Amino acid sequence: MSLPLDQDIPLDTLLSVATDAARRGGAVLTECARTGFHIEHKQSINLVTNADHQAEQQIIDIIHAAFPTHAVLAEERGLTEQYPSRYKWVIDPLDGTTNFAHGFPAYCVSIGVECDGRGMIGVVYDPTRDELFTAQISRGAYLNGIPISVSATDHLDRALLVTGFAYDIRETPNNNLNHFVRFALKVQGLRRTGTAALDLCYVAAGRFDGFWEVTLNPWDMAAGVVILREAGGTVTDFQGAPHSIYGQELVASNGPIHQAMLDLLQEDPAHS
Ligand code: IPD
Ligand code: CA
Ligand code: CA
């Protein structure tokens, strides 16, 4: 039996469900942070907690109650797609798990919605600051309902950048330490917050001027790239080619410093 493909759903309806799910996921994280949680090791330095799983379950329940036929790609559960669907929800229930496990208050819930492969909605919720970043395609980006936009910084030496390191940092030579060293000597400041989704939102809000990372997953980026683009930012791969959340590299910036970031990332280490 073949099912009809999903009809168009208003962006406001998608945003409302994504926001509800992100806030409910955030409430689970807050409650687990208050009452305690269990930590398991996926790999040597890659942790997961029962808070990740519980938040993910809540989020998926809310999405499936509203849209039972939609596909869901969630970090801990993987892809759930009962029927071919035009819509895919891409979820990181806890971005910043290492921070969360240590009680360092920099983590969030990240929910992106794709239709026909295109990012339409981004919602990132930081429960420790009660900051909700939202965007709908072609309708701008917002922080707690107030419009946000990227910075105007146009030189690396006045830029505050952020990056991150993947969990295979010990196993691969492509571990971003080379880029980190080069940027550290060129910029005003360089940070590593441990939450890629918030890093993207902070570039969108002008708190950072640029962000790059070598090995990210779709759930780290799906929401944040919609928010960044809607805030006027630029996002590409390391070659300057169009960004896909299904690739791994990401260079995100306010625009004016983008080429300088690409130039530095492409520098031949032998000549730097
Ligand atoms: C990680 C964070 C971190 C980034 C890693 C991600 P997780 O996600 O976003 O900032 O550097 O590459 O894997 O494991 O905390 O959801
Ligand atoms: Ca993540
Ligand atoms: Ca995660």
Written as tens digits, the pLDDT of the chain (272 aa) is 445 567 899 999 999 999 999 999 999 999 999 998 899 898 888 888 899 999 999 999 999 999 999 999 999 999 999 888 999 999 999 999 999 999 999 999 999 999 999 999 999 999 999 999 999 999 999 999 999 999 999 999 999 999 999 998 998 889 999 999 999 999 999 999 999 999 999 999 999 999 999 999 999 999 999 999 999 999 999 999 999 999 999 999 999 999 999 999 998 654 44
Q: Whose CA is nearest to atom 15 of ligand 1?
A: 96
Distance CA 124, CA 260 (A): 28
- Give the closest ligand to the alpha carbon of residue 52: 3
Q: Whose CA is nearest to atom 12 of ligand 1?
A: 166
Residue type, 76: E
- Nearest residue to 165 (alpha-carbon basis) of 194, 145, 137: 194
Q: Whose CA is nearest to atom 11 of ligand 1?
A: 164
Indicate the top mutation candidate among 195, 202, 208, 245 to test ligand 1's pocket, ranked by most ligand atoms within 8 A of CB. 195
Hey, what are 213's tokens?
Answer: 């990372």
Atom of ligand 1 nearest to the CA of 166: 12
Q: Whose CA is nearest to atom 13 of ligand 1?
A: 166
Neighbours of 124 (CB within 10 A): 31
Alpha carbon of 53 to ligand 3 centroid (Å) = 10
Residues with CB under 6 A from ligand 1: 92, 95-98, 164-166, 194-196, 213, 216, 220
Q: Whose CA is nearest to atom 16 of ligand 1?
A: 95
Alpha carbon of 226 to ligand 3 centroid (Å) = 18
What was the pLDDT predicted at 46? 86
What was the pLDDT predicted at 269? 59
Task: Show the domains of the chain with their CATH numbers.
Answer: 11-147 (3.30.540.10), 156-271 (3.40.190.80)
Distance CA 201, CA 198 (A): 5
Q: pTM to 2 decimals?
A: 0.96
What was the pLDDT predicted at 268? 62
What was the pLDDT predicted at 4? 56
Alpha carbon of 108 to ligand 2 centroid (Å) = 9
Hey, what are 39's tokens?
Answer: 């930590």
Indicate the top mutation candidate among 167, 220, 250 to test ligand 1's pocket, ranked by most ligand atoms within 8 A of CB. 220
What was the pLDDT predicted at 69? 94
What was the pLDDT predicted at 267? 86
SS3 per residue for the chain: CCCCCCCCCCHHHHHHHHHHHHHHHHHHHHHHHHHCCCEEEEECCEEEEHHHHHHHHHHHHHHHHHCCCCEEEECCCEEECCCCCCEEEEEEEEECHHHHHHCCCCCEEEEEEEECCEEEEEEEEECCCCEEEEEECCCCEEECCEECCCCCCCCHHHCEEEECCCCCCCCCCCCCHHHHHHHHCCCCEEECCCCHHHHHHHHHCCCCCEEEECCCCHHHHHHHHHHHHHCCCEEECCCCCECCCCCCCEEEECCCCHHHHHHHHHCCHHHC
Indicate the top mutation candidate among 109, 168, 216 to test ligand 1's pocket, ranked by most ligand atoms within 8 A of CB. 216
Distance CA 174, CA 74 (A): 26
| Ramachandran angles phi, psi of 191, nearest 5° | -125, 160
What was the pLDDT predicted at 271? 44
Alpha carbon of 109 to ligand 3 centroid (Å) = 8
